[in-house]
Amino acid sequence: MTNAIAMNDFYHLTKQKEVKIIDVREAYEYQMGHVPHAKNLPLSGLGASTSELNPDNDYYLICQSGARSENACVFLDSQGFKVTNVLGGTSAWPGDLTK
């Protein structure tokens, strides 16, 4: 069971401090709108992207609804990364999405 955070709590957290957010959707989805400051590392290529991540950091993973980010959390957790799944995904983000 991986860590998870409700969207309301995550949204408030992002307003209080800078957090490392990884959007695991495909690039075209990311370009249509993403949570501000999120880095795009699509789930389809995540295995090849782990070198871009620091095992000392905490990462919040997000997708459209929370399913793909949950899969990404399971994978990255097994690789020793500290990850939290953002429940509800970008479709639940209460603020404006960045393009």
Q: What residues are labeled active site?
A: 63
Q: How far, in Å, CA of 24 to CA of 34, rounded?
A: 11
Helix, strand, coil share of the chain (percent; to 5):
40, 20, 35
